[in-house]
Structure 1
Amino acid sequence: MHTVWVRLNAVVFFSLSVLLVLALLASITSIPSILGDNGNPDHPMEAIVTKVGLNTFRSLRTSGGVDRALFSIDIEADFEPAFHWNVKQLFVFVVAEYETKKNRLNQVVLYDKIIESTDPVKTISVTDAVIKYSLISQHKDLRGRDVELKVYYDTMPITANMYMTTSEVVGRFTLPEEYFNMKEEKKRNTGGGGGGGKGGAERRKKRKREEAK
């Protein structure tokens, strides 16, 4: 007769083997959903990105020897098509890509969001969302630079390997040719004390010295 521990060991490892087989079958059966109706791995089921673009420039300034650009964006995208029964959640992020003298490719995450399978609405619709991180150049050469926007999302399945999907370029814009700060512009336009007097003259001189460096 086998002891209780031997029988328990057999039951546990048999259960683990069954779970492993079920997980493998689940991964295999989700492949058609990942590939989409045409079964082409180069065109899997993807989100429908309607709009990702610039809304408002907030500032383009030089600080600490580097250029920094801050702005807000609009996003309209439907991620329902990217979900199937084996998807737990998506980690979505919008990335700005641009080139500088120092670095051929710069990538900055502007916006991110987690969309879960239990969410009743699987869309992103935001207007005038201020970006999380500024665009930065190490050599004060952001002025006039072209910026491209792309949407990335990691698919996190219930059982299977994670994979990332990258959209084509969904938005483009060019940074201003001159340094710009929306708050200072508003103060000058409303006569808020930023544009006149000794203090305003000193600030203009300081800005010109920074631009000349």
Structure 2
Amino acid sequence: MHNSLNRLQSVFGFFTTVAFTLGCLIALTDLWAERTPSGVIKATNTQVVKGRPHYYSSKKEEYAIIKFSLDADLSSLFTWNTKQLFVYVTAEWPAPEAGMNATNEAVIWDSIITNPSADHLVNLGPIGKKKLKASAGGKSIAPERGLLKLKNQKPKYQISHPSGKIASAEDVTLKVHYNVQPWFGLLTWNTQSDIGRWKSFAGGVSDQFSLPAVKVKDDKKKP
């Protein structure tokens, strides 16, 4: 005869198996949800400065500040299994010298967009949390969730290069990336090709541009 502890372990094991199986089935339903992300991004202002880009930098170096405009529709990424969406913009440019990295890539901006049922996870004050919970209670995902309209957006992060030089870099492009974080299942990123009903990102890549040279101020003023 099994004692009470063995019976409790059996019940708990059966419960976790059923819960895991149900979670997997819920995660698989995402494959039937159509994903059609799209967006247009362009650089609006670029500047290269020489100094210490971070307070912990030990030496002066060149770093770039890139402002951009973004008009993206990521609303189709929000389904019943979407907890939150991580969106970020990168600047990419080829290495100027042979033997270095083939492509340089750095993040200049990012943002987290939560599902209405996960709004309380945002780092907000008690008043803001209360308003978000009240607005999301009993409501489905709002259609404007995932719509980004940024104009002349300042970057969150300045970019530099291990060599300390980044001025006059050519063939720079901005790219939009996303990471879908589900309630249950695997993390998914934007893909380069279509996978069933999941379409690749339409657009999301800017035209190529060059970074300017470092602006040097004259030591003596002209009469």
Note if contact 1:88-1:156 (Cα within 8 Å) is conserved in structure 2. yes
- For 1:107, the aligned partner's letter is E
The within-5 A match list for 1:30-109 is: 30-33=30-33, 36=34, 45-49=35-39, 51-57=40-46, 59-63=47-51, 64=59, 66-101=61-96, 102-109=100-107
Q: In the alignment, what sits opposite 2:110?
A: 112
Task: Tell me, in whole angstroms, the C-alpha distance in 2 between the residues paired with 1:104 and 1:62.
Answer: 24
Q: In the alignment, what sits opposite 1:155?
A: 180
Q: 1:176 to 1:15 in 2, by over 3 A?
A: closer
Q: TM-score, normalised by structure 2?
A: 0.67
- Seq. identity, %: 25
What is the aligned-residue RMSD (CA, Å)? Answer: 2.7
> Does 1:201 pair with 2:215?
no
Tell me the SS of whatever aligns to 2:174. Answer: strand
Unaligned stretches of 5+ residues in structure 2: 52-58, 120-141, 192-200
Q: Which has the higher helix share?
A: 1
Q: 1:133 to 1:67 in 2, by over 3 A?
A: same
* Cα shift at 1:108: 1.0
Q: 2:213 aligns with which of 178, 196, 199?
A: 178
1:97-135 superposed Cα distances (whole Å, 9 cap, x missing partner) = 012324321111111111112164322222222212223
Task: Tell me, in whole angstroms, the C-alpha distance in 2 between the residues paired with 1:77 and 1:11.
Answer: 48
Unaligned stretches of 5+ residues in structure 1: 37-44, 185-194, 205-213
Q: 1:114 to 1:179 in 2, by over 3 A?
A: same
Task: Tell me, in whole angstroms, the C-alpha distance in 2 between the residues paired with 1:134 and 1:117.
Answer: 29
* Aligned residue pair count: 175
Q: TM-score, normalised by structure 1?
A: 0.70
- For 1:7, the aligned partner's letter is R
Q: In the alignment, what sits opposite 1:10?
A: 10
* Cα shift at 1:94: 0.7
Tell me the SS of whatever aligns to 1:172. Answer: coil
Q: 1:5 to 1:150 in 2, by over 3 A?
A: same
Note if contact 1:68-1:134 (Cα within 8 Å) is conserved in structure 2. yes
Q: Which has the higher strand share?
A: 1
Decide which moves more: 78-87 or 136-145.
136-145
Task: Tell me, in whole angstroms, the C-alpha distance in 2 between the residues paired with 1:86 and 1:24.
Answer: 11
